[in-house]
Structures are given as C-alpha cells and as structure tokens.
Amino acid sequence: MASEPHITVERWTRASVVAATLALAVAALLALGPLVLGANAIDKLTTLFIYVILAATWNALAGYGGLVSIGQQAFFGLGAYAAVRLADAGMSVYPALVLAALLVGLVAWPLALFMLRLRGGEFAIGMWVVAELAHLLVNLDGLVQGETGTSLIVLNAYAADARHAFNYWISLGSMVAILGILFVLLRGRAGTAIQAIRDNEDAAASVGVKVAATKRAVFIIAAFGTALAGALWLATAITFQPKTYFSVEWTAYMIFMVLVGGLGTFEGAILGAVIFFVIEALFGAAGVWYLVGLGATALVFALFLSRGLWGTFATRFDIHLLPVGYRLVIGRRAPAHPSDVAVPER
C-alpha cells in the first residue's frame, strides 16, 4: 500500500545550527583582530563591517519589507552629521557615534508618518527628495561650512593605533548587533507581518496585520542602521563633506550588494557585501569605469539572476544557513509495514 504524503514545517536544520554556531565563533575570533593584524588589514575589515551593515539594513527595508528606497543616503549623511555635532558639543567621540544613530532613528519616526503614505515608485523617489533636502539643510550649518565640510578633530586625541583598533571594535560590535536585531525581528511575528505586507499590503491588513506600525518599525530600524554606518564611516575617514556623505552612490552600493547577494535573503546581504568589498579592493582605482561596471553587473543580475547568488544557490541545493522563516518539507510518511516502500517526493 502506498504511503501517504507527509508535510512538515521546518525552520532549523543541522546545517543552519552549524552555520549559526560558526558565525558566532567567527565573530568572536574577529574581536581579536587588532591584537594580531596590521593597521591596513584592520582598516579594510572595518570597511567590510560597515558595508555589511548597509547591505543588511537595505535588504530588511526593501527585500523583506518591500520598501524600495533610493534615498537611504539621507540617513547615512545625517548619522555622520549628528556625530560631528555631538562631538563639537563636547561629548566623548565613540559614544557620540551611537547616540547620533539613535537620534537619526528618532527623526525617522515622524518622517515615516509622511513617507510611508507613499507606495512603490512614489516612495523611492520621495526618499531621494528627502535625501536632497537633508543635504541642503546640513549645508546651511555654519559648523559644516557648506561643501567645504569639517573634521572630527577630537579623534586626533587618540594615538593612530588606538584609533584604528577602536574603530574596528565598534564597527564589529555594531555589525553583530544589527545582524542580531534583524535576525530576531525577522524570525518573529513582526518578520512574518513584514513579509506579508511586502507580498500584498491589502491582504495583510485584511487578516489583522498592523500595516502602518509594522512598516514604520522596519523603516526606523533601517534608518538607525544606515545612520550608524554613516557615523562609523566618519570615524574612519575623519573628514565630513556633505556632498560625499549625501551622495546617491551610497544607496547604489546598497542596491548592488543586495541584488548580487540575494534580495530578501538574510545570507545574501552578507555575501553581497563581501563580494562588493572584494570588487572594490580589486577595481576601485579604475575610476568611472568601476562605477559603470557595478551598474552593468547589477543590471545583469536584475534581468537574468533576480534571486542573486545566494538566492539561486539556496533554491538549487535547498540549503538555508540562517533561516528567518519557515519552510514546508514534502515527503512520505514512514511505511506501516516493511513491505511498503517510501520514496521522497522531488
């Protein structure tokens, strides 16, 4: 007698448990970086950590929440600007980096009340307008001196080796914290609600999902993470020039990382950041052709490999290392008699 189809709901697998354990172990080992690595390697890894934050937060906003923004540079620039202002007011520089991001997150709350009324392309363009407006307003600050900019001169109080190490540790800690927050959020009821809104906002509302509150939450978290990345970038660059920090290139980089790695996959954002980091290290000196190459690559992925590298790989081999959702496993029930044969469904 043929066995009946058996459907189970699965979240953690042996592979995902191993992957999560290894990820924590790698983070612990990376904490030893300044003790064993040279200044150049420390600076490069610091940059990578910031890229991971940018990719993960844009992926949460667009890949999971369906809120495609081309104006996230607004929060990146405001995070750096707020850090400059707090340091100028006499606050210790490294706490100022985190507080700056928190303040930008607070600013994002009333902004969300207006921007989240927009959908699709209107939201994307609206965020770009917000970024341009923020750029203009920051230029009016006498401390910034227009496009001339200013510097986070208080960092000069630290010896070079100490500054590199502190930048590394705070960037690593921020990356781990942001990834942890997003992982927990997306695995919970909020994550299910976020993805339901992305798939069909009206249908989600009809089954009781609090659409406005859920979208506002992911918007604010993405703003906070992006602002934190901007403040951390300021700590590594020291100088602050509005046209650099409010450049749309930052959002273009986020989009590239997520499209190449895998839109709407937790692992894909991390993989995309690593790939972008490697490409930049190898071809960043090529100038405008480097940017042309990034744009062409992103276009190819959008047209022919829409799931990205990780999304395609995970679908092809059914591997999920850091699962944030549930998946159905369809097979056969165990045979009731040794003579029954159970063949897994494909």
Contact 210, 80 (CB under 8 A): no
d(CA 150, CA 154): 12
- Phi, psi (5° rounding) for residue 272? -60, -40
pLDDT of residue 200: 82
Q: What is the mean pLDDT of each successive set of 10 residues along the chain, which is 346 residues long?
A: 60 77 92 91 96 96 92 96 93 94 96 91 94 95 87 86 94 96 88 86 85 92 97 94 94 94 92 93 80 83 84 82 69 43 38
**CA atoms in the 13 A half-sphere facing the CB of 42:** 21
Nearest to 131 by CA among 53, 227, 225, 63: 227
pLDDT of residue 342: 38
Contact 326, 7 (CB under 8 A): no
Q: Which residues of 142-167 are buried (b: 16+ CB within 10 A; e: fewer)?
A: eebeeeebbebebbeeeeeeebbbbb
The two structure tokens encoding residue 281: 């290290």
Rama region for 239: left / alpha / beta (φ>0; ψ in -120 to 50; rest): beta
Measure the CA dihedral 254/259/263/267, to 10°: -80
pLDDT of residue 343: 38
Other beta carbons within 10 angstroms of residue 8's beta carbon come to 9
How would you classify the pairing of strands 239-240 and 5-10?
Answer: unpaired
Contact 72, 254 (CB under 8 A): yes
d(CA 208, CA 236): 45
Write the DSSP assignment of 196-231 as a string of letters: HHHH-HHHHHHTT--HHHHHHHHHHHHHHHHHHHHH
d(CA 252, CA 58): 11
**Residue at 334: amino acid letter:** A
d(CA 282, CA 319): 30
3-state secondary structure 287-317: CHHHHHHHHHHHHHHHHHCCCHHHHHHHHHH
Other beta carbons within 10 angstroms of residue 195's beta carbon come to 18
pTM: predicted TM-score of the whole model, two decimal places: 0.89
d(CA 176, CA 225): 11
